[in-house]
Structure 1
Amino acid sequence: MANKTGGGTIILATFLVGLMLSQMPLPQMAEWFRPEWVIMIMIYWAMALPERVGLGTAAVVGLGLDLIQGSPLGLNVISLLIICYLTLLLHKRLRMFPLVQQALMVMVLVGINQMLFNWAHSLMGTRGDSLLFLLPAVMSAFLWPWLFVILRGLRRTFRVA
């Protein structure tokens, strides 16, 4: 039997862990390689449970990420809404892909996020001309298979539906 009430707690807990991982201090050089944990978690839940995790969740999580990161208010909201919308459009197809193809799609989606952020920061004059801003997309794709297996295991263990 599915756990519809307790499932929200598991979903919320995974987003909180993602928020903590996104703020974990790293050495200066490693900052460029930080995966986009919150976006990957959003992609997983929107793909696995599109009826429970959608645009409303993306807006709330994005607002929380804006407040935690101190980024311009609404930037993470818009970014997560776009990523979540694209994931919801493709969720049936994404489910059928093997993990390697899913990882490539995660790289594209996180890359879109990174380009939005780079564009917004370049408008404010705070970013350089380097393509290093795309490294989190590569790292996110590399870590996607493991994150997918962990989140799927949590979803099945706690019967989140």
Structure 2
Amino acid sequence: MTTQNAIDWPEKYLPGTGDNFVSNEVIVQGLTAARVWHFLTDTSEWEGYYDNVADISFPQGGGPQLKDGLLFRFGTFGFPPLDAHVVEFRAPGDGAPGRLSWTARQDGGPEERLDVLHAWLVEDLPGGRVRVLTQETQHGRPAAALAQERPNPMLNGHQAWLDGLVSAASK
């Protein structure tokens, strides 16, 4: 029997406690967690394989490589650039999965306020396979509006990110 790892959730962002939650996963052969990790954590690669991200910047310096504690900004899903903060960063290795998560916020009045945690888990599986799991919990009225749309733009957008990530890492 093989068990798979899970996202480590801060209580504030537990799945099902926000206004929107999505979960996407791929398992593919012929890639390693280390190879996928490069394309996930180097933000200079994102716009090359994912068309729903733009205007990536690092207001306090650093980047384009993500790391623990890094502050960055990016636009996605038509929102003005969100202020993001890497809150978990552990590269895959020694049988442990890679773990990456960031919070992202948009301030403003109640109609604009948004607070999210976007988490990633990248792990090698037996048989030359890699598993990439991404999940996001969102709080705020813009998140609630997204959750009501059909098809769900977050679910489809994150699947496009996963598909692009796998494609980029496969080249």
User: Normalized against structure 2, the TM-score is what?
Assistant: 0.35
Query: Between Structure 1 and Structure 2, which shows a larger proportion of strand residues?
Result: 2
User: Normalized against structure 1, the TM-score is what?
Assistant: 0.37
Query: Between Structure 1 and Structure 2, which shows a larger proportion of helix residues?
Result: 1
